[in-house]
Structure 1
Amino acid sequence: MQASLLFSLFFPLILAEPLCIKDNDIAKSQLISTIFFVSGLCTLLQTTLGTRLPILQGGTFSFITPTLAILALPKWQCPTHNASAIPSMVQNDTSPPLMENSDEVWMSRMREVQGAILVASLLQIVLGFSGLVGFVLKYIGPLAIAPTVSLIGLSLFVEAGKKSGGHWGIAALTVCLIFLFSQYLSKVDLPMIAYKDKKWKVFHYPLFKLFSALFGMCGGWVVCYSLTVFDILPSNSEEYGFSARTDIRVEAVTNSPWFHVPYPGQWGLPTVSVSSVLGMMAGVLASIMESIGDYYACARMSGAPPPPTHAINRGIAVEGIGCILAALWGTGNGTTSYSQNIAALGITKVGSRLVLQTTGVLMVFLGIFGKFGAIFITIPDPVIGGMFLVMFGMIAAVGISNLQHVDLNSSRNLLILGFSTFSGLVLPTWFHSNPGIIDTGIKELDQVIVVLFTTHMFIGGFFGFILDNTIPGTDTERGIKKWQDKEQEESNHTCEQSCYDIPFCNSVLTRFRCFQYLPFLPSFKTTQSEASK
């Protein structure tokens, strides 16, 4: 749950400035609570009806880059004098028009993001329920995935710099603590006592390795609190280091309600535009590629057989449904599988579906508990910046790790990788530096071009995909052969796969022959096996 806690915190903080809620702590706390609530629902949905693997669902960085590109359009620029900077809950009754306008400033932007995610996620549902996921992935190799995922992390370096720049010393301390717990103390297991088989037993638990990011954040938080209490940090907002104080946003906790139930449409009816939807589809495709790898990894870590085709198709479709729920509730993001949760499964050896379902229920409750989200708003910006430095770097590294099967001695591969990655950095930067340069005479077409060409991951993935599939190269050179061999090895696994069956539906699915032709149902495997004989 550590991963869900931290990443759910990240997304509202990254989007705060583009959404024009940089100083609206009440709105940020509401977004955090909403993300927790929806993540809990999606985790229950995925573990019960999706792949049924013990895998946590939550926000995804794949949607951040296109969201930032959408909010960078001229019509979504924040007003010069932003009324939304004033938290609506601290305004008095004498200014209801100001309160309404301040909320409308950021809610209108949120509705645009909601509409883009809502429509773009239909692509994920179609690919999953139709079984086209496998067909699409045949043409997407490591040279397309690597720049796509890497640019998610690389494109967010500005956000990390802004947060860390509030106090580089605190940011560096947070980074050092994360490295200390995750690397230097990763082999240190703490003795703990548990009651099992009617007696007390001592066991060793990898506490530092499992909660390294959380401990690093809390360590930096405690240091900032101490420096604030002893008044070592400056109290003038114009002085360097002021943002490291922990008493800046205390009002967010006191003004937040104890309980608030998020509901669909709480920010208003989503709005849809072609440019936003097309830009968000790049995030959807990246999320699909990430999730499929997570399914195989989660199955290995939890001791389950490799997921069959129907389970993967259904899992992707359910993630699409989860993204639609996130859009309806208004989280400002979608949902995907958490790789960090999979690593925890391998360490703890606890691959129980019930544990993850319990976690989903707990996340729903935390989303209703309003002051829980508000507490995390008080984390100083430099602490968040230190975590950004580590997390965004890891995302970029994960993208690069997809090249392990590619022949990096090939000039062909180096050219594709270098050009696609570099273009993904250069083109969006140029478009941002030259606003209004695109003028076709059709406003909607201008917006489509600007959103697509300012989305780093779209540029990198597009060039990587086109070049990798058009420039001659062997499957071994491209890394495709090793991928296919790995999938073939996993598909030949003969373990029992009943764990992927949909509960309470087997009798109905086996009774009617028509269900054998639906690629997202367990009965689909019968057709496949008969065809192979």
Structure 2
Amino acid sequence: MSENRIQMLEMNIENLTDIPISKKTTNDTNRNPEITYGIDDVPPWYLCLFMALQHYLTMIGAIVSIPFILTPALCMAEDDPARSHIISTMIFVTGLVTFLQTTIGCRLPLVQGGTISFLVPTLAILNLPQWQCPAPEILDQMSHENRTELWQIRMRELSGAIAVSALFQVIVGFGGIIGYLLKFITPLTIVPTVSLVGLSLFENAAEAASQHWGIAAGTIILLTTCSQIMVNVPFPLVTYRKGQGLRVIWFELFKLFPVLLTIIIMWIICTILTVTDALPFGHPARSDSKLKIISDSPWFRVPYPGQWGVPTVTLSGVLGMLAGVLACTVESISYYPTTARMCGAPPPPIHAINRGIGIEGFGTMLAGLWGSGNGTNTFGENVGTIGVTKVGSRRVIQWACFLMILQGVISKFGAVFIIIPEPIVGGIFCVMFGMICAFGLSALQYINLNSPRNLFILGLSMFFPLVLSKWLIKFPDAIQTGNAIVDSVFTVLLSTTILVGGALGCFLDNIIPGNAKDRGLEAWAKEMELTTGRAADKKADVVIDTEYVWNTFDFPFGMSLLRRWKWTSYIPFSPTYKKW
């Protein structure tokens, strides 16, 4: 081989810098030493089960709270058994979509479930004159069949609006448009979007915690103790092995199960207070206050698409729901790099982000067609759980999917967890929502906080959305354009704090002059590392047959076939995608 040929070969090898050396090396360079289980780690099955249960318990409170707000707006009777059917449907779809997301979507350990972001446009739609509930005296005189049709026709309207509006996410995700929008999504876009999720939910946490501040405070203190103070304290556990007999091992109980341990201990305390009648009958902190849910829940029921009838579609409904879709899109994009860093994964490449948003949109379509009355979005509560537990294994979330799907079919299984006393849920929310807010604020590390420009954008994009949303909640009829549809659309858009805050931060950061370093663009670009695939020098005349090494964000199957087909490099959501 000639000397020039050898030099060209060496240049080609050097150009292949974005080929991961190995799966282990790729993760180790980004891995936080405090992480117990990284994204590709597979804990023992019995640990997976309990850690999956922990994630299930974290999201179940938020999932269940949505139907309790939704069903009265649908004009549904309080004793209607369909309430539990809606809850089971939401949890079933959550398990199904989460499995798709972790397997072929962005492949980050994210839970995709119902979101409060869709409740704001939902309530705005149901407040339109044609969908408002009749007077209570009229409702009391209606037959069961007519009352059922009354709420089902409204559910069909919501189902159609959710399914059609979700096409936006499907198009921008699978179409690769998200990859081009990322250049405008800066740290000053991420900070208000993610932080306002936690700040906007403080009323939900306060409402649950205020049912009994003693129980809620005990939950916060115990969770803080387990997850922060005793995190490195080993716990003795007696095990038995054939041929070795009984022996004591030291188990990292507090590091792996702080949330689950806190819920169990506080639930036992509530049970003791219930048995001793220290709490009055019917008090939300009593462990028997929701036992009726178990008896009313059926043993076996399989949710199916169109179970409430064929969805209907109207322009006002679709445009209203689009506000929730936009907010969820920005919020999920904000979570991707944060979650990747938390679970020891490399920054997500463009094709993974494209797939993640596309699968989320597809999941929202499924949620609408299944009749859950809500969409799907990345659960901030479970992102917070990863931060608290230091367990970011993808396999744990997939086990949680199994629990969700099982609960969606066996309703009484989920009802056991639905009866967790409200103050315990409120205490957990105080910690989890605080973690979400803190994760959003952590993006401030990339920008120059001594810059008056940055402080102006940050302060306005954080404070103004809270002011505007509170004003619209207090005066829902303030916007009067002469067109009811336009009024509802503007009300919904401006009431969504995460949408207003993210859009305002993004707009101001991109029009107000500022250098890239102060804006944090240089540090953010290194954090995101938006690679598109395995590069090769197109100008070189030497072809190197490099052995393929599996990557965290590749599909778990079919990669050899995709690499063999050259046309897959033009597909924005393919792991072989190359941005030309």
What's the TM-score once normalised by structure 2's chain length?
A: 0.76
Matched, 1:433 2:486: no
TM-aligned CA deviation for residue 445 of structure 1 = 0.5
CA distance, structure 1, for counterparts of residue 69 and residue 298 of structure 2: 24
Q: Deviations over 1:419-455 (max 9, x none)?
A: 1111111111111222322221111101111111111
TM-aligned CA deviation for residue 489 of structure 1 = 9.2
CA distance, structure 2, for counterparts of residue 196 and residue 414 of structure 1: 61
> Percent identity between the aligned chains?
42
Which residue, 23, 36, 40 being the options, matches 2:95? 40
Could you tell me whether the CA contact under 8 Å between 2:347 and 2:529 is conserved in 1?
Answer: no
- Give 2:344's aligned residue: 300
Which residue, 506, 525, 530 being the options, matches 1:465? 506
CA distance, structure 1, for counterparts of residue 248 and residue 388 of structure 2: 20
Q: Who wins on radius of gyration, i.e. which is larger? A: 2
**Cα distance change on mapping 1:194 and 1:231 into 2, 3 Å:** closer
- Give 2:69's aligned residue: 17
- Give 1:390's aligned residue: 431
TM-aligned CA deviation for residue 153 of structure 1 = 1.7
CA distance, structure 1, for counterparts of residue 266 and residue 461 of structure 2: 37
TM-aligned CA deviation for residue 18 of structure 1 = 4.3
TM-aligned CA deviation for residue 368 of structure 1 = 1.2
- Give 2:48's aligned residue: none
- Give 2:85's aligned residue: 30
CA distance, structure 2, for counterparts of residue 153 and residue 24 of structure 1: 32
Matched, 1:221 2:295: no
Which residue, 203, 214, 218 being the options, matches 1:173? 218
**Cα distance change on mapping 1:83 and 1:194 into 2, 3 Å:** farther
Matched, 1:71 2:123: yes
CA distance, structure 2, for counterparts of residue 512 and residue 426 of structure 1: 53
**Cα distance change on mapping 1:384 and 1:48 into 2, 3 Å:** closer
Unaligned 5+ runs, structure 2:
1-51, 536-547
Could you tell me whether the CA contact under 8 Å between 1:83 and 1:98 is conserved in 2?
Answer: no
Could you tell me whether the CA contact under 8 Å between 1:256 and 1:374 is conserved in 2?
Answer: yes
Partner SS for 1:138: coil
More deviation, 339-348/131-140: 339-348
Could you tell me whether the CA contact under 8 Å between 1:29 and 1:377 is conserved in 2?
Answer: no
**Cα distance change on mapping 1:434 and 1:3 into 2, 3 Å:** same
Unaligned 5+ runs, structure 1:
87-94
TM-aligned CA deviation for residue 204 of structure 1 = 3.8
Could you tell me whether the CA contact under 8 Å between 1:25 and 1:377 is conserved in 2?
Answer: no
- For 2:422, give the aligned amino acid: D
- Give 1:417's aligned residue: 458
- Give 1:290's aligned residue: 334
TM-aligned CA deviation for residue 509 of structure 1 = 3.5
**Cα distance change on mapping 1:193 and 1:352 into 2, 3 Å:** farther
Q: Deviations over 1:369-409 (max 9, x none)?
A: 11012223322222222222222222222221221211111
**Cα distance change on mapping 1:226 and 1:358 into 2, 3 Å:** closer
- For 1:521, give the aligned amino acid: S
TM-aligned CA deviation for residue 465 of structure 1 = 1.3
- Give 1:515's aligned residue: 568
CA distance, structure 1, for counterparts of residue 504 and residue 461 of structure 2: 5
Q: Deviations over 1:287-340 (max 9, x none)?
A: 431343156337735xxx655433332233223222222222234230437535
TM-aligned CA deviation for residue 214 of structure 1 = 2.4
- Give 1:91's aligned residue: none
Would you say how many aligned residue pairs link Structure 1 and Structure 2?
A: 503
What's the TM-score once normalised by structure 1's chain length?
A: 0.83
**Cα distance change on mapping 1:103 and 1:290 into 2, 3 Å:** farther
- Give 1:524's aligned residue: 577
Q: Deviations over 1:237-295 (max 9, x none)?
A: 6xxxx222232321210121111112122334444414422311232322431343156
Could you tell me whether the CA contact under 8 Å between 2:350 and 2:530 is conserved in 1?
Answer: no
Matched, 1:208 2:254: yes
CA distance, structure 2, for counterparts of residue 247 and residue 101 of structure 1: 33
CA distance, structure 1, for counterparts of residue 307 and residue 153 of structure 2: 12
Q: Structure 2 matches for 1:36-435, cutoff 5 A?
A: 36-52=91-107, 55-59=109-113, 63-72=115-124, 74-75=127-128, 81=136, 97-100=142-145, 102-103=147-148, 107=152, 110-192=155-237, 203-235=249-281, 242-272=283-313, 273-293=317-337, 296-297=340-341, 300-301=344-345, 307-331=348-372, 332-336=374-378, 338-340=382-384, 342-343=386-387, 347=391, 351=393, 353=395, 356-435=397-476
Q: Deviations over 1:326-373 (max 9, x none)?
A: 22223423043753575589548xx575x6545433432232111012
